Amino acid sequence: MNDDDSPKRFKRRKVVNTNQNLQNGERKINENGLPREQAMSAGLPARWMYCPKYGQVIENLFFPMKTPLSEGYDDLLETQYRFHPEDVFKIEHPNNLKPKIWISLANTERFYGRKQVTNHDCEYIHLPMQVTNHDCEYIHLPMVGHDEAPTVDDVKRFLRIANGFYNKNEPGLIVLHCTHGFNRTGFLIAAALVELFGYDPEAALLQFASARPHGIYKEDYLR
């Protein structure tokens, strides 16, 4: 890293502690996903339905995707557009790679319940990289999104997780999503490609765009 330990070309942004799109009761821990009535009232995330579900594996390490949604949202979606957490564990990857770390960057927990991930031997981790006997770790790193790129501290937290797993030198994927799987997700994957794999920033952005067309599309993230 640079002398100030900040990722290359990734700017500091102020984080606003918001809880956008929270419905009554969502501040309680969401274990099983919102009930149908509450999910129907909350509605789908804007522009989510036609957004591609996921991209391609990057460097045999990162798997970018949009957020899955719990079954409570199913009545708002035709069958082909539904995308549940359990579907992620059924995706076939090159070299038979499996999810080892699942990271949600969404600034909410209304999209699906924790147990919809942890039921797949994926333990919810309060402190990233703590010792676990499970096959997979689930980490929630909420980031504001919208017009707010991840802060330097956000990027550092993510890089600590990515670097810790990378240095284990064991096969597996870091499955990563925000709401649509492009901007926050792409920003952090690009930062990791720079810091872990030696990419220059432009090449990192192009690599992400190749794996998740058309890549990061918000100008605020690219300045």
pLDDT of residue 222: 78
Q: 10 Å Cβ neighbour count for 60?
A: 13
pTM here is: 0.85
Q: Which of 156, 150, 36, 166 lies closest to 100 in space, CA to CA?
A: 166
Superfamily in which the 48-222 domain is placed by CATH = Protein tyrosine phosphatase superfamily (3.90.190.10)
Gap between the Cα atoms of 131 and 223, Å rounded:
38
pLDDT of residue 25: 44
Q: Which helix (H) or strand (E) holds 173?
A: strand 173-177
- 56 Cβ contact list (under 8 Å, min separation 6): 210, 211, 212
Q: 10 Å Cβ neighbour count for 91?
A: 16
Gap between the Cα atoms of 5 and 191, Å rounded:
13
Q: Could you tell me the mean pLDDT of each successive run of 10 residues in the chain, 223 residues long?
A: 41 36 50 94 97 98 99 98 98 97 96 96 75 80 89 95 94 98 98 98 98 90 77
pLDDT of residue 218: 84
pLDDT of residue 1: 43
